[in-house]
Structure 1
Amino acid sequence: MNITLTEKAAARLKEIIAAKGEDLALRVLVRPGGCRGFEYGMALERQPRQDDIVTEVAGLRVVVDPQSAEFLDGISIDYVDALMGGGFTIHNPNAVSVCGCGQSFRTANAKGAPKPCSC
């Protein structure tokens, strides 16, 4: 499992985790939805699940469930500051089609479950 965090993303995640005062891992996942068929999700968790893939990236534990792994191998997560607020972005080399907001995608081998666009 190859996931990259930019310096800005790693720094922002470390700030968020430090503010919570707990030893947390970053979960990155893919679920059906969005206008292209799949959408990303991120959450902080205390413990990985038994079947999770756990890796260390930039001093952070990153966990991915086996079903999401095929969609996430090779991604790069960045943190972007913007005038209306910042946020995490994901660059996915496996995506062949991406929504304008960047939250929904599809791959050449999987179309997912497209829904009307909400962005």
Structure 2
Amino acid sequence: MVISITDDARRQIEEMMEDEPKNARLRFGVKGGGCSGLSYSLGFDYEVNEELDKIDEINGIPVVIFKQDIPIIENTVIDFKQNMMGGGFSINNPNAIVSCGCGSSFRAKDTEGTPEKC
């Protein structure tokens, strides 16, 4: 399993999926940009390319991940935290060596470049 989804995150994702078409899958990955070079991408997708995507079911959630992102996000845990200001997903990526102060971007062991200031 490439990533893990906690029970709290699963409940939140299931609630969000109720408003999505039946073929919806959670797509998790990374994209270029942000203060530290990479940022996480988390959303729903309805089309899968078996050559480019890893398709899995994690904690009851159908998940799609671009195969090229696997080395950067392997062993990542997606959680959902609730607090007085609301709630949000938190991502714990053991491959992130630098994280931005704003918490929305990171640099992984296998990526190059110098982070810009947030």
**SS of equivalent residue, structure 1 residue 13:** helix
The corresponding residue for 2:58 is 57
Q: TM-score, normalised by structure 1?
A: 0.87
Instruction: Show structure 2 runs of 5+ residues with no match.
Output: none
Q: Percent sequence identity over matched residues?
A: 35
* Separation in structure 2 between the aligned mates of residue 19 and residue 76 of structure 1, nearest angstrom: 24
**SS of equivalent residue, structure 1 residue 16:** helix
Equivalent pairs counted in the alignment come to 117
The corresponding residue for 1:34 is 34
**SS of equivalent residue, structure 1 residue 87:** strand
What amino acid does structure 1 have at the position aligned with 2:8?
K
Counting strand residues as a fraction of each chain, which structure ranks higher?
A: 2
* Separation in structure 1 between the aligned mates of residue 96 and residue 80 of structure 2, nearest angstrom: 19
Q: TM-score, normalised by structure 2?
A: 0.88
List 4+ stretches of structure 1 deviating above 6 A. Answer: none
- Taking only aligned residues, the RMSD between alpha carbons, in angstroms, comes to 1.8
Task: Report how far residue 55 of structure 1 moved.
Answer: 1.1
Q: Deviations over 1:9-66 (max 9, x none)?
A: 0010011102335231100010111111110011111222232001110111111112
What amino acid does structure 1 have at the position aligned with 2:45?
E
The corresponding residue for 1:69 is 70
* Separation in structure 2 between the aligned mates of residue 110 and residue 74 of structure 1, nearest angstrom: 17
